[in-house]
Amino acid sequence: MGTTDSARHASDHTDGDLRTEIGGARDTVRLFRERADELDLKSLLLENSFDGILAHTAEGRLVYYNEAAHRQLGYTREEFEALPPWGWIGPEKRGSVIERLDTLRERGGLLFVSAGATKDGSALRTEVQCRVVDTTCGELIVSVVRDVTDRALSEESLHHLAYHDRLTGLANRAKLEDDLESALAGADPRHDHVGVVFLDLDDFKPVNDEFGHATGDKVLQIVAGRLAAAVRDCDTVARLGGDEFIVLVRRLAEPGDLALVAHKLVAAIEQPIRVDAHTIGVTVSVGLAIHEPGESPADLIAQADQEMYRAKQAGVSGWEEFLRAQG
């Protein structure tokens, strides 16, 4: 037999094996389909789904649920069945689901994200898809519940990294600008002033040179903590980089109140800082700016930056100069 004949014979043999395998696979599929009822494939699929699957009445009373449904929440079957109507949905979403039942019926389906807690109190984020199904026994709402906790936490972590300074945990410039946009959009310029305090640590390089960068980083972290503790929850403390910080102060009754905030911030920063065996004293130069109509967030930051450098060069207290200018 020549080389060509041998190759053709091998090819015919391979094709024959492949056809046999395909035929066998088709026979297997046909067998499963024909015996689906006997094998109860639907129940097998439902009980082995990673997603929780539930059927309940419009009042939220359970008619059916699979294994994943109660395991997601850490309950036994008995405990799960003892939950109140809609008890498997996070408390903050239960009311909205009941209120939107008419919308659910009109649309035929509803998709929402729910935040709740498992039986042991750990956080659980779920993506819930509800659909109305008419049966011979009445209306049922079928819900598929997917655990998206890991995905949600990952997204939150990425979001945090994108908007926060890694060394101090404070807001970074991107978050500061977003918060400024929001503050300016919601402020009434007649009696709801928005201001910023720009702070630059004086001669910080010698701290790194004398004590090392690790100690310098700890000093920056302590300064960041003091700034955050000295303002309200509605304000934003950001690190712009290096030894520069900026504080966005919302809802000032009077422009002059910004100087009082700045004085408090300076007093907090300039307390002696203890790091390991070292006591380190820092001073800070500050610049203040109150938003004026027509100014952008970048304009406001730039103005405060200029006032800080002016104060640093003149060797004066920026907040005192601001008070005098307001007077």
pLDDT of residue 21: 54
pLDDT of residue 18: 47
- The answer to whether residues 74 and 130 belong to one domain is yes
Residue 3 has φ and ψ, to the nearest 5°, of: -60, -40
- Domain boundary (117, 152, 187) is at 152
Is the pLDDT at 187 greater than 90? The verdict is no
- The answer to whether position 34 is within a domain reads no
Stretch 126-143: mean pLDDT: 87
* Interatomic CA distance for residues 325 and 294, integer angstroms: 21
- The answer to whether residues 169 and 304 belong to one domain is yes
- The answer to whether residues 278 and 195 belong to one domain is yes
pLDDT of residue 103: 82
- The answer to whether position 322 is within a domain reads yes
Structure tokens given for 237 = 């403390």
- The answer to whether residues 206 and 281 belong to one domain is yes
Structure tokens given for 75 = 């309950």
- The answer to whether residues 121 and 236 belong to one domain is no
- The answer to whether residues 186 and 294 belong to one domain is yes
- The answer to whether position 97 is within a domain reads yes
* Interatomic CA distance for residues 208 and 218, integer angstroms: 11
What pTM value is reported for the model?
A: 0.60
Residue 87 has φ and ψ, to the nearest 5°, of: -65, -15
- The answer to whether position 131 is within a domain reads yes
- The answer to whether position 285 is within a domain reads yes
- The answer to whether position 64 is within a domain reads yes
- Domain boundary (152, 179, 213) is at 152
- Domain boundary (152, 176, 205) is at 152
192-240 pLDDT, tens digit per residue, is 889 999 999 988 888 888 888 899 999 999 999 999 999 999 999 999 9
- The answer to whether position 66 is within a domain reads yes
Structure-token match 């994943």, residue found = 68
Number of independent structural domains in the chain:
2
* Interatomic CA distance for residues 225 and 147, integer angstroms: 35
- The backbone region for 169, taken as left when phi is positive above 0, alpha when psi lies in -120 to 50, beta otherwise, is left
- The answer to whether residues 174 and 71 belong to one domain is no
Structure tokens given for 281 = 């004293």
Distances (CA, A) of 306 to 54, 79, 86, 172, 269: 62, 64, 57, 20, 21
The total of other beta-carbon atoms located within 10 Å of residue 116's CB is 18
Q: Are 70 and 76 in contact (CB under 8 A)?
A: yes
Stretch 112-141: mean pLDDT: 83
- The answer to whether residues 192 and 261 belong to one domain is yes
Measured between its terminal Cα atoms, the distance across the chain in Å is: 110
- The answer to whether residues 141 and 172 belong to one domain is no
Q: What is the domain range of residue 205?
A: 164-326
- The answer to whether residues 172 and 314 belong to one domain is yes
Could you tell me where the beta strands, DSSP code E, fall in 136-232?
138-147, 193-201
Q: What is the mean pLDDT of the chain?
A: 81
- CATH number of the domain residue 222 falls in: 3.30.70.270
- CATH number of the domain residue 47 falls in: 3.30.450.20
- The answer to whether residues 89 and 177 belong to one domain is no
The total of other beta-carbon atoms located within 10 Å of residue 276's CB is 9
pLDDT of residue 319: 57
Model confidence at 326, pLDDT cuts 50, 70, 90, reads: low
Is the pLDDT at 39 greater than 70? The verdict is no
- The answer to whether residues 175 and 148 belong to one domain is no
Distances (CA, A) of 126 to 117, 149, 158, 208: 10, 7, 19, 47
Residues whose CB falls within 8 Å of the CB of residue 232, separated by 6 or more in sequence, listed in order: 250
- The answer to whether position 269 is within a domain reads yes
